[in-house]
A = this chain, B = another copy of it.
Amino acid sequence: MDDLDERALRRLSDDGQRLTEGRRRVLQALVDAGAPVTIPDILGLQPGLAQSSVYRNLAVLERAGLVSRIAMGDDHAHYELAEDITDHHHHHLVCEACGKVSDVTLPDSTERALDRALDEAASVEGFALSRHRLDLIGRCRDCVSV
């Protein structure tokens, strides 16, 4: 986590931003959660933070490339540490019953084949591909039985 602090500091100062206590605590909440979480989750994990500051700091952290925002349909957005920081490319399992989001990894061979296909499809459309998002939607282990 000191490693993360160091990287966070560098990323933020590259972006002309400071690593404040509030920002450190937001990052810590994301580390502790170990999965994409909502703002209420973050406030629960690090009590005492002001909601508006968490929103503002997540925006700062996202601009600095430290955090990714995952837009789910209706309710709260989810946030997690950016892949850039975790060095862990992954996709998301989204439970349509309880709304929980968790990470999932695909075999490297699948990722490579997928990347190739996406590059090809994008170039045919004259589209400059910068990233992709793959969500698996269904029922999580806790909700299948219900």
| Chain A contact residues, CB within 8 Å of chain B | 69, 71-74, 77, 93, 95-96, 102, 104-107, 110, 113-114, 117-118, 121-122, 125-141, 144
Whether B138 lies near A130 (C-beta < 8 A) is yes
Residues of B close to A118: CB separation below 8 A: 106, 136
Q: How many copies does the complex hold?
A: 2
Whether B107 lies near A127 (C-beta < 8 A) is no
Complex CA gap A69/B71 in Å reads 14
Please judge, given known A-B contacts A96-B130, A110-B113, A131-B137, whether A73 and B73 are in contact too, CB under 8 Å.
no
Least CB distance, A63 to chain B, in whole angstroms: 14
Please judge, given known A-B contacts A71-B72, A72-B71, A121-B104, whether A139 and B128 are in contact too, CB under 8 Å.
yes
